[in-house]
Structure 1
Amino acid sequence: MQEQPPSPDAPVADARADNWVDRYAPAFARPYLRLSRADRPIGTWLLLLPCWWGLALAMLYDQSPRWFDLWIFVACGLGAFLMRGAGCTWNDITDRHIDDRVARTRSRPIPSGQVSVKGAVAWMAIQCLLALCILLTFNRAAISLGVLSLLLVTIYPFAKRFTWWPQVFLGLAFNWGALLVWTAHTGSLASPAVLLYGAGIAWTLFYDTIYAHQDTEDDALIGVKSTARLFGENTAHWLRRFLMISVGLMGLAVIFAAMPNASILALVIALGGPWAMGWHMAWQLRGLDIHDPAKCHHLFLVNRDTGMIPLLFFAASLLV
């Protein structure tokens, strides 16, 4: 008997049972939305928050807020959703043979047969074109940075095949928005944006190493590399280093952003952001158990709050 294709109502194994895609999206759209990880919004948040950091510090830097910044803020949300979706689609296209061999990922739309490779390529192109329409509303320098980011997005899925540090490539791609959005506001790059970018990369190494510990056994069997496998039992020591680097670089980014024009009070408030973020990351370390995949998944998810904390301090600093 010929095997029937999976139903579009079949959810992905690691998605929440009550997610909006499974509950409200039309049946024909669900496999494509799952392909974009729309049923798991954490990735969109992790891509979006560095963009908003960049916008807030750029406004602190030149003390020149304008109405176009409201569009930048909204465009960041739309662009993060679309480009995260396009990136995940590309990742699933390139990893389809790997995903089929990992318990947590074999229920994804391509390995499960819900979406064909041709359909996935078409869906990726649609998302990229929509994101391009948003990018074209920015200045030329920001547009150039946006186009350049595609190189990182293209390379990332292959990184785990040739390096033990694929999380670095994820960090380079996921935090690019800090550079792009700073440039969208100010018109050019400056040292605070570069420092903020470095802080975001270290943060990505922190949370994605925790995430990768969910799959270390399967990854070892199929030969996929990750910092989780590289660090092993020394993971907590490495994560402390990433914590310190992230907090230190973000603190420097705040200082260099505030020094030209902001008040001392604004500087002090903004510096509370990396300080509080560091404490939240330290709290995660206290609860870390690399041998408990459910705990690792939970700690990965709370990094939305980790990234939101400095944003709140940066926003408050703009009010004084």
Structure 2
Amino acid sequence: MSKVKYYYDPETLSYRKIERKKRRTAKYISMFVLASALFGFLFVFIASQYIESPKERALKRELSNMQLQYEFLNKKMDEAQSVLANIEERDNNIYRLYFEANPIPEEQRKAGFGGINRYKALEGFDNSKLIIESNKRLDVLQKQIVIQSKSLDEIAKLAEEKEKLLSAIPAIQPVSNEDLTRMASGYGMRTDPFTKARKMHWGMDFTAPRGTPVYASGDGVVTRADSNSSGYGRHIRIDHGYGYVSLYAHLYKYNVRRNQKVKRGDLIGFVGSTGRSEAPHLHYEVFKDDQRINPINFYYGSLSAEEFDELLKHASMENQSLD
């Protein structure tokens, strides 16, 4: 129950009851409500500036964690970039150099992306700069990896071709040293055994007993195994590819047939003295791009340094050939 208030009236010398006017009461109530609203708004405003809500704290933690993750991502990209740079250096200066391939230019490896703005959707956020830079670095890194992957695929193919080339080159002596009587004559000007005139001897003569094994000096395909070439008697020609052909003449008999594939070291025939020959021996020639070349430059696959020096000494002597 509300209290009744009185006031003293000096005219009547008595106490009178204080009557509240409804308008004044409404005014007081309105002022109280307005003041309360203003105070509440002020409190909420101050609280929003200086006091974090649970949701704001959670969002702030999430943002802080995201920034930390982006820092870790950038560190990992730095590490990946360092490893990739090392691979690129070896690719240009070792692998591609060894296989005689042109190095990939630096501007091609690290080129960005032109044209439209690829990162427009990432703009307008508080951390847009961080997000866009990270995405740019990641895109460039991915492009570099793709370029390097294609380069390594190319190197793998070149290595395969190089391996085939190394296997194809006629790189061993066609008659084993254990089976040789002597190296009778080398490549160069020699005395013809029949006319006694000096003429060019286009191969090397290996003296060995009749029936001595003759081996393919490199991988290839037998293109001829016949006696239809003047002076060579029974002979074999092997096409090694890459412009190389080897010839084995004056054979006693064959151990291969035309169009047969052979590997370096395969037994292809036996020493004889057929055709224009003075004694049992193997006449051996090497062609490169249809030009005869000195076979002595291709024995690195079967001779030691001492054996090669000895062979070179005998091959250099201007003696009489056997064919």
Do both share a fold (TM > 0.5)?
no
For normalisation by structure 1, the TM-score amounts to: 0.25
Q: Normalized per residue, which structure has more strand? A: 2
Q: Which structure ranks higher in relative contact order (CA pairs < 8 Å, sequence separation ≥ 6)?
A: 1
Using structure 2 for the length normalisation, give the TM-score.
0.25
